[in-house]
Amino acid sequence: MAHAGFLIFLLVVALLLLDQAAGQSKARKHSKRRVKEKDGDLKSQIGKLWQEVNSLKEMQALQTVCLRGTKVHKKCYLASDGAKHFHEANEDCIAKGGTLAIPRDGDETNALRDYGKKSLPGASDFWLGVTDMVNEGKFVDVNGMVLNYFNWDRSQPNGGKRKNCVSLSQSAQGKWADEVCRTLKRYICEFLIP
Ligand SMILES: [Ca+2]
C-alpha cells in the first residue's frame, strides 16, 4: 500500500508539473505575441525615421545644389563640369535629381542666360531640356510635356529630322536653336524647389 501511495504522490507531482509547464507555454505564447507587436511598432517607427532621413537627405542635396549653383524664383540651376551629348547630359541631370534646364518664360530665360554666362564662361551655347525626338517638329520638354513658351532664334528650328535637341545660344541672348543631339555641349541642370 505504501508503494501505491508513493505512486499516487508521483502522479500528482507529475500532473502539477504538467499544469505548470502548460501555463508557462501559454505565457510564453502571450509574450511572443507581445514581442511581435513590439516588433511591428519598432518596424513602423524605423520606417517613419527612414522616410524622414531620406527627405532630409533630399533637402540637403537640394541645398547643396542651390549653394553650389544659383537659386532663381522656384528653381535652382547647376552648371555641368564638362560637355556631353544631349542624352548623357539629360541622364546626368536626372541622376542628380533634376532635369536639363527648361526656361518657362522670359524671366527664366534671362536668369538662365546670366547664370550660364557666369558659370560656363566661353561656352557659346548649352543644352536645354527640349526635344522633338518623338514627333518631328513637335518640340516638348524632356518629360514629354507640352511647352507653352518657346524662344526660337530667327529661322529656327531648321534642322528637320537631323536636329532633334535644343540649345540656348549665349551669343543670341538666350534664343533657341535645334542641334544634332550627338553634339558635345555644356549643360545646366535645373531643380524645382518644393
Ligand atoms: Ca527635329
User: Would the CA dihedral through 143, 173, 170, 164 be positive or negative?
Assistant: positive
pLDDT bucket at 9, cuts 50 / 70 / 90: low
Q: Could you write out the DSSP letters of every residue in 12-42?
A: HHHHHHHHHHHHHHHHHHHHHHHHHHHHHHH
Nearest C-alpha neighbor of 188 from the set 68, 57, 63? 68
User: What average pLDDT does range 107-131 have in this prediction?
Assistant: 96
pLDDT at 27: 66
C-alpha 76/C-alpha 189 separation (Å) is 8
Residue 138 Cα, ligand 1 centroid: separation in angstroms?
Answer: 8
Residue 155 Cα, ligand 1 centroid: separation in angstroms?
Answer: 14
Per-residue model confidence as pLDDT tens digits over 150-174: 999 999 999 999 999 999 999 999 9
Residue 161 Cα, ligand 1 centroid: separation in angstroms?
Answer: 4
Residue 76 Cα, ligand 1 centroid: separation in angstroms?
Answer: 28
Per-residue model confidence as pLDDT tens digits over 27-81: 666 677 777 888 889 999 999 999 999 989 888 888 888 888 999 888 999 999 8
Residue 167 Cα, ligand 1 centroid: separation in angstroms?
Answer: 12
pLDDT bucket at 4, cuts 50 / 70 / 90: low
C-alpha 91/C-alpha 88 separation (Å) is 5
Residue 163 Cα, ligand 1 centroid: separation in angstroms?
Answer: 5
Nearest C-alpha neighbor of 98 from the set 75, 132, 127? 75
Residue 156 Cα, ligand 1 centroid: separation in angstroms?
Answer: 11
Half-sphere exposure of 41 (CA within 13 A, CB side): 6
